[in-house]
Amino acid sequence: MDRRVAITGIGVVSPVGTGKDAFWRGLLEGRCGVGTVRSFDASGYASRIAAEVKDFDPAEYTAPKNVKHMSRCSQFALAAAVLAKKDAGLDLNGDAQNAAVILGVSTTSMQDMEKEISSLISRGTESVNPFSAAKSFPNASSGHIGIELGLGGETITVSTGCSAGTNAIGYAYRNVLCGFADIVFAGGAEAPITPVMMSCFGNSRALSQRNADPAHASRPFDRNRDGWVLGEGAAILVLEEMSRASRREARIYAEISGYACTNDGYSLIKVDPVGDHAARALAKALKEARVDLDEVDYVNAHGSSSVVADRRETRVLKKVLGERAYKVPVSSLKSMTGHPLGACGGLQTAACALAISEDKVPPTINYEEPDEECDLDYVPNEARERRVRAAVNQALGIGGNNACLVLKKV
């Protein structure tokens, strides 16, 4: 098969910056997006911190009349898609009917549904907004992208928890590779910072309770981590058939050359500590990409700041990469962006593409004291210049859904 898949556009909405350039600059500077929750009063919660998107105005990306019919998740997704289209320099005239959207999400519209349920209980059925159901459908965010950009191709939503964004990009890659589409807008979006979500994860003791020091709360692979931090945002990539991108002289950030997904078959909520199936996903993706282990120059880890998950991921890298694992820089964006559930795969893939394009590797901030079971090079606290020929994005989702993408320099 002579088709290849290029990344030609990147759009980002994140706690460390909106827009590709602001996002990348924030990562390289080690900027922390975690703070005390501002969107609601979380003073009585076990965890009162999150990585929220700041200074975001959805009316900059669509008509103000459209905003009221969109959830916060959809607003993020649409903004990222508009930014990605602009970054790619795409003119969709003649191609729009075959351009697709494949988006990974997890919770979609929790804010709106929590508000409507509260209204129903306190004020009765007539108080419920009749448009709230449409806002909350999982496919609403991808639908808004298709409508705003006038796309006529497939509009698909992938929901596999924390691996949703990575799986969405993986399916988009396969669509382009197999000739079902020449252009796909793909990535992930999430806006899960709500009272119910913070209560659920806080009561399960999954979240960090470093409430007095939020900037140092998310600390993947560090010995003193006490849980992860909830985040939000979106990242959309323009995936384009390589020869088409070359003909229009598009900027090509990187090539997607391998993808795989496996399931642990272990538990819906617990992490399989062994990691054999996660290792299988990484090995399959590398094999499909035809990348030798010595060519892997960067791993963007899932790195959630969970004790069990971080140790399992370290174990997975050693199983597949062998001695090479000790020589490859491994970093976690979640030290800065928090964990945005279904959006993290989009953000991570964007970071991999930029690392390849710029030959720079973002850091893992708040890494101060090594965990004896996490003994790889986690790029502590400062970005690093390094030639990146191939990069790996690992996403390890709830229910044991493991997804892996391999990107290469063109």
- Convert the pLDDT of each residue in 74-96 to its tens digit: 999 999 999 999 999 998 877 88
130 in the same domain as 233: yes
> Residue 176: pLDDT above 80?
yes
264 in the same domain as 243: no
Q: Amino acid identity of 23?
A: F
**Which alpha helices (H) appear in 290-343, and where do they start and end?**
307-321, 334-337
278 in the same domain as 237: no
Q: Which residue would you say has higher pLDDT here, 135 or 332? A: 332
- Convert the pLDDT of each residue in 247-303 to its tens digit: 999 999 999 999 999 999 988 888 888 899 999 999 999 999 999 999 999 999 999
Q: How many CA atoms lie within 13 A of 369 on its CB side?
A: 4
141 in the same domain as 13: yes
- Convert the pLDDT of each residue in 124-171 to its tens digit: 999 998 888 888 888 999 999 999 999 999 999 999 999 999 999 999
Residue with tokens 């924030």: 26
* Residue that is last in its domain, among 228, 247, 266: 247
Q: What pLDDT sits at residue 399?
A: 83
Of 32, 339, 352, 404, which is the active-site residue?
A: 339
Residues 6 or more apart whose CB falls under 8 angstroms from that of 193 comprise 37, 39, 50, 52, 230, 231, 232
179 in the same domain as 314: no
298 in the same domain as 189: no
Q: Active site includes 277?
A: no
- In this structure, what token pair is assigned to residue 291? 């990348």
Residues 6 or more apart whose CB falls under 8 angstroms from that of 340 comprise 14, 51, 188, 190, 192, 230, 231, 232, 233, 347
Q: What pLDDT sits at residue 133?
A: 85
319 in the same domain as 217: no
CATH number assigned to the domain comprising residue 146:
3.40.47.10
Q: What pLDDT sits at residue 132?
A: 86
Sequence length of the chain is 410
Domain that holds residue 322: 256-408
Interhelix angle 110-123/195-203, rounded to 10 degrees, is 100
Residue 137 contacts residue 118 (beta carbons within 8 Å): no
Q: What pLDDT sits at residue 86?
A: 97
Of 261, 302, 352, 374, which is the active-site residue?
A: 302
Give 109's pLDDT tier (boundaries 50, 70, 90): confident
Range 387-401 average pLDDT = 93
pTM of the model: 0.97
Give 101's pLDDT tier (boundaries 50, 70, 90): very high
Interhelix angle 164-177/344-358, rounded to 10 degrees, is 60
- Convert the pLDDT of each residue in 355-393 to its tens digit: 999 999 999 999 999 999 999 999 999 999 999 999 999
Residues 6 or more apart whose CB falls under 8 angstroms from that of 122 comprise none
Q: What pLDDT sits at residue 93?
A: 79
291 in the same domain as 150: no
> Residue 1: pLDDT above 70?
no
The sign one gets for the Cα dihedral 377, 382, 388, 391 is: positive
223 in the same domain as 278: no
Range 195-211 average pLDDT = 95
85 in the same domain as 51: yes
* Residue that is last in its domain, among 214, 230, 247: 247
Task: Please state, as a whole number, how many other Cβ atoms lie within 10 Å of the Cβ of residue 397.
Answer: 27
Which percentage of the chain shows pLDDT scores above 70?
100
141 in the same domain as 58: yes
Give 7's pLDDT tier (boundaries 50, 70, 90): very high
Q: Active site includes 339?
A: yes
Instruction: Tell me the DSSP string of 216-227.
Output: GT--TTBTT---
Q: What pLDDT sits at residue 76?
A: 98
Range 171-175 average pLDDT = 97
Give 107's pLDDT tier (boundaries 50, 70, 90): confident
Q: What pLDDT sits at residue 113?
A: 86
Domain count, the chain: 2
Q: What is the mean pLDDT of the chain?
A: 95
291 in the same domain as 238: no
* Residue that is last in its domain, among 223, 247, 271: 247
- 254 φψ region: left (φ > 0), alpha (ψ -120 to 50), beta (else): beta
E-state strands within 175-270: 183-190, 233-241, 254-263
Q: Which residue would you say has higher pLDDT here, 15 or 129? A: 15
172-208: burial string, b at 16+ Cβ within 10 Å, e else? bbbbbbeeebbbbbbbbbbbbbbbebbeebbeeebbb
Of 32, 73, 162, 344, which is the active-site residue?
A: 162
